[in-house]
Amino acid sequence: MLYRLVTEYADLGDHRTGTPVDESTAKWFAAQLTSRGAAAELQEYSFDRYDVRSKVTIDGQEVAAWPLYYEGVGQVTTNKPYVGSLDVSAAGAPGLDALLADARRAKAPALVVATSGADGRLIALNRQPVLGQGPPTLFVAGALADRLIKGKVTVDFEAAIKPGRSANVIARFGGGTTPAPLLIATPLAGWFKCAGEHGTAVAVTLEVASAISKLAPVLVVGTTGTELGALGLRHYLRHSPPRPQAILHLGASLAAGRKEKNRMVLSDRLYVDTSLSPVRHNQLNQAFRPLGLKFTYTAGKEAKNPERWHGEARLWCRLGVTLLAVAGPFPLFHTPDDLPALATSPALLADVCRAMTDAARLLAEK
């Protein structure tokens, strides 16, 4: 069941915010929640959408390329782009600003960058939806770095800012507002098919919410705009600030990993952060021990400090209620190869779902 849900999610297409696939994904997620007994609704919001078309060739051969969103608008055709390579790590790409500055100083009409990491794959970067200084920037796979530096490179690029719309999904199991519900949050959107990055958390969210709803009220929040500075979550918190008993944030790469001896093992780069009281730590350890996950504890005033959290938990922590958040990268993070068969497995999903259900029960206890 869990793996089928991941496959259905990925099969919808590339989950970029403001696209027809984004709209279909929200409706699909809402329908899944409704079928499990929840009352679901879509919370629409508007934003400045980056509408872009691009093409890169190296020595006359077209190669897969991905734009750095919001970094330049207008139309550019050139055979003299600035080229370079960039280390894209879990902490982002700290060398990007320097590359952009170098390209601007060179008055380059465009910038093409080979992304190192992820075994030489093409890697996309999350972006704030704010127009940059340019020049228009495109990423290609790190495996192409030598060809990019030595070859003849051409760029065709056209981009504009257009009105865009997206929607969060909000669903409630159990009527009324008391007792306060357990809030289970998960992102819905991303650059590509995102099977491991978001599909695994979406599937586990559906199953955990359904199970816990038999014990306590549950509020599910699925947010879009994740790849664009958490647009959807920011909108939700501005317009519908919840009053939950506790929050379980099931974030990126929840049940994603890598192949090891013919089986899929969980990413060893997941962050597990919680403000759960110390007396509950042993119980949480028991829930996560089968996964090999360790967690950090954030206490007192520090519980509201975004610096102590990862991913969208940096926003959820500001509500000041007990928070447990799991998120991180994995080998196919932000790549077009993040597909079900390469990113997860039925057994791994089942193990993670069992652990997250136990953790959710712990959070739901009074």
Q: 52-159 maps to which CATH number?
A: 3.50.30.30
Q: 2-49+165-364 maps to which CATH number?
A: 3.40.630.10
Beta bridge partners of 182: 218, 246
Specify whether the backbone of 42 is left (phi greater than 0), alpha (psi in -120 to 50) or beta.
beta
Q: Mean pLDDT of all residues in the chain?
A: 92
pLDDT tens-digit readout, 280-317: 878 888 888 888 887 777 766 778 888 888 889 999 99
Domain ranges of the chain: 2-49+165-364, 52-159
**What is the predicted pLDDT for the residue at 269?**
86
Q: What's this model's pTM, rounded to 2 decimal places?
A: 0.94
**What is the predicted pLDDT for the residue at 299?**
66
Contact (Cβ atoms closer than 8 angstroms) between residue 343 and residue 331: no
- Per-residue confidence band for 88, with pLDDT thresholds at 50, 70 and 90: confident
Does pLDDT of 175 surpass 80?
no
**What is the predicted pLDDT for the residue at 298?**
73
**What is the predicted pLDDT for the residue at 90?**
52
Query: Which one has a higher pLDDT value, 10 or 95?
Result: 10
- Distance, CA of 69 to CA of 228 (rounded, Å): 9
Q: State the DSSP string of 202-220.
A: HHHHHHHHHHHTTTS-EEE
- Per-residue confidence band for 130, with pLDDT thresholds at 50, 70 and 90: very high
pLDDT tens-digit readout, 71-81: 999 999 999 99
